[in-house]
Chains A and B, each alone.
Chain A
Amino acid sequence: MRDVQLWTYIVVAITFALYIWIGYTNRVRDTKGFYVAGQGVPAIANGAATAADWMSAASFISMAGLISTMGFDGAIYLLGWTGGYVLLALLLAPYLRKFGKYTVPDFVGDRYYSQTARLIAAIATIVVSLTYVAGQMRGVGIVFSRFVGLPIEWGVVVGMAIVAFFALLGGMKGITWTQVAQYVVLIVAYMIPAVAIGIVLTGNPIPQLSFTFSDIVPRLNAVQVDLGFKEYTQPFQGKTQLDILAITIALMVGTAGLPHVITRFYTTPTVRAARYSAGWALLFIALLYTTAPAIAAFARYNLIDTLQNATVANVIQGEKQDIYELVYPDGTSVTWATSWQRTGLLAFYDKNGNGKIEIRPGAAFQGRNFKAPTDSPNEVFFDNDIIVLANPEIAQLAPIVIALVAAGGLAAALSTASGLLLAMSSAVSHDIYYRILRPTATERQRMIAGRTMILIAILFAGYFGINPPGFVSQVVAMAFGLAASSNFPAILLGIFDKRANTTGAIWGMSVGLVFTLAMILMMKSNIIFGTPAPLLNDFMGISAEGIGTIGMILNFVVAFVVSRMTAPPPQEIQELVESVRIPRGAQVVEGAH
């Protein structure tokens, strides 16, 4: 175990030094460099940066574990967080790149020739990014505490310092090239344990192939049925089909509407490169997203199989939970089980005293009180995160691989945090300060405003990382619903419907945003306001996670109808729409006029 600690220090230190070096060599002087990396990012690099920007600590650490528990229904994340890139590539990215400004509110404000529309888009950007970023900083702290042994607070501070360094110096340019490096770190860290476990379980080194063609999933299905679970692959075990559909749509459309993702497509040199970079981004994301379900199934099989064969050798009484030392049939100790019980992410309770730990459906404990078993025959609690975090140990991989997983988790959290921080601060410093309040600001003043805002945003995010409001982790998924119901329809209609006008866009965005926000607040009121029960359970069978789909439809309908009841947009706006539809001329950003 000491080896692991040492390797973790070394690997994390090397990767951090790399990020700092990249940040230093990519310093910028002008706002174009600061907001859109000088529009000089090649398609493949932008794809890798987008992938790192997009895949957060949640994708890296939690997703495989969630799928492992949800089985088929885990598809909401797999489809929802990839399908949006098709929408981005076909419906938004090329046209926004041709438009060629810096932010989402830039497009909304100019296309709808309205400062009100610009302001609403800027506020939506801030709200969406803020709900998202707090969780990321927390993620940095958690990875630090688990692997490096630093307290969570100090982990957050170190993470803030690193992000501040390359974001302040390099803005979008520094962030972009650090994200490229972070993508490489995180994908290597994700694939190595997956490949190793695939080889151990099925003899096939490619997880996607062994998942589909080996008999591992049928074996898992059989074992699950024996133990009283439904088949692993059985659809709609936890949620209704309608809800699954709504959630998948909300996540997909939300992905396409997330400001920090959209902004990335402004950084390419051409419209053509914007299209290709969406393809590269999804290819890089798909590498992880097609591996995750394989890890989920492998790890679940491994866990059940280990527990079925192991016997209890010793029980150490603990204050919060009893630590069970298990041995394999050949007498060797199941060390990972012991060490992960100490973290509180894994807990056993041999309720029937038969010397075996039995995994069954139902909750083993009353909440997270591991001294209070329930009546359920289930004797195992495991946190979803353990599926990725403990995987290398379960497969008995070298300490350096475990260290790599720590560096990968940090890369995922830091890259997403930096992208969000830039999106948030540019909404204030570029859209609100420069475009609305002080259009006469000089380049120098704008750079100062940009750097100041990013610093404030980092401190803000850090504060929430250290003192997370209880409901943050519960509402992060709602950021997608908000993005789906506000930004996405406004941008889409702005490109595809020449008749869409200011009044329509403002009404559409307002109705979509207010409806979605109100529904989320009512359905999550028990967590946010502390009411005894949620004020509303669901809306026509759709839960808070999927409600953004309804908000989006409302936005579309209202914007479409109101636009047609009011005056058409002026001639120059129709010309603007004509011009974003054609690739040629994208390099001439500031134009001759």
Chain B
Amino acid sequence: MTKTATPTKKTNGKGAQGGGRQGGGRQKWSPERANAYWKRNLRLIGILLAIWFIVSYLFGLILANPLYGMRVGQLPMSFWFAQQGAIIVFVILIFVYCWVMDRVDKEFDVHE
């Protein structure tokens, strides 16, 4: 099984330097901390997937007719989102996720 070096289920030790510490981190790993880390991750995923939905499904497909009269460059706006814009935003979304998670991982001291 994939039992790893990360102590995912530690009981609350006594004091800030308790037994749950891992790899020189400043804070001890606890269920609360695991929860907080996961909530941060979920919130970020939620925000990014909302943008993902808006640029592709909403601007590109659902509002295809209403946005047809507006322009991006020489193209109808919905057409541009459906054939160019959404794809460009997708790439940016993934890299934003990578960058932000790099920071969150360090903050929670779970980086590799």
Contacts and interface: CB of A to CB of B under 8 A. Distances in A.
30 contacts: A79-B61, A79-B86, A82-B90, A90-B45, A100-B2, A211-B75, A212-B74, A212-B80, A215-B74, A234-B68, A236-B64, A245-B61, A248-B61, A272-B98, A272-B101, A272-B111, A275-B94, A276-B95, A283-B91, A286-B90, A289-B87, A293-B83, A575-B8, A576-B2, A582-B110, A583-B110, A584-B6, A584-B22, A584-B112, A585-B112
The 6 closest A-B pairs by CB, nearest first: A585-B4, A75-B82, A212-B73, A235-B64, A279-B94, A578-B8
Interface in A15-41: none
Interface in B49-67: 49, 52, 56-57, 60-62, 64-65
Given A241-B61, A276-B95, A279-B94, 7 more contacts: A75-B61, A213-B74, A214-B74, A244-B61, A279-B98, A286-B91, A572-B1
Contact of A286 (B5, B76, B88, B101): B88
B70 interface: no
A214 B73 CA distance: 8
A90 B74 contact: no
A86 B112 contact: no
A573 B98 CA distance: 27
B49 A86 contact: yes
A588 B4 CA distance: 7
A89 B3 contact: no
Contacts of A67: 83
Contacts of B56: 79, 83, 248
Nearest to B84: A290
B86 to A, nearest CB: 6
B48 A582 contact: no
Interface in B24-69: 34, 37-38, 41, 45, 48-49, 52, 56-57, 60-62, 64-65, 68
B45 A79 contact: no
Interface of A: 67, 72, 74-75, 78-79, 82-83, 85-86, 89-91, 94, 98-101, 110, 208, 211-218, 233-236, 241, 244-245, 248, 270-272, 275-276, 278-279, 282-283, 286, 289-290, 293, 572, 575-576, 578-589, 591-593
A94 B95 CA distance: 13
Nearest to B78: A235
B84 A582 contact: no
A86 B64 contact: no
Interface residues of B, number: 53
A575 B9 CA distance: 7
A591 B1 CA distance: 8
B58 to A, nearest CB: 11
Contacts of B98: 89, 272, 275-276, 279
B107 interface: no
A286 B87 contact: yes
A393 to B, nearest CB: 25
B56 to A, nearest CB: 5
A279 B95 contact: yes
A276 B60 CA distance: 26
A272 B112 contact: yes
B23 interface: yes
Given A110-B1, A212-B73, A235-B78, A282 B91 contact: yes
B67 to A, nearest CB: 10
Given A581-B38, A583-B110, A272 B105 contact: yes
Contact of A582 (B37, B68, B72, B83): B37
A582 B23 CA distance: 14
Interface of B: 1-6, 8-9, 22-23, 34, 37-38, 41, 45, 48-49, 52, 56-57, 60-62, 64-65, 68, 72-76, 78-80, 82-84, 86-88, 90-91, 93-95, 97-98, 101-102, 105, 110-112
A419 to B, nearest CB: 20
Residue picked from B4, B22, B88, most chain A C-beta under 10 Å: B4
A218 B74 contact: yes
A289 B41 CA distance: 29
Contacts of A241: 61-62, 64
B110 to A, nearest CB: 5
B101 A270 contact: no
B25 to A, nearest CB: 10
A83 B52 contact: yes
A591 B6 CA distance: 11
Given A90-B97, A110-B1, A579-B4, A212 B72 contact: yes
B83 A579 contact: no
Contacts of B9: 575, 578
A235 B110 CA distance: 47
Nearest to A245: B61
A588 B45 contact: no
A48 to B, nearest CB: 14
A279 to B, nearest CB: 4
B62 A245 contact: yes
B64 A72 contact: yes
Contacts of B112: 270-272, 583-587
B32 to A, nearest CB: 13
Contacts of B49: 86, 90
A443 B46 CA distance: 43
Nearest to B6: A585
Contact of B101 (A78, A86, A216, A275): A275
B7 to A, nearest CB: 10
A233 B62 CA distance: 15
A86 B110 contact: no
A179 to B, nearest CB: 20
B105 A78 contact: no
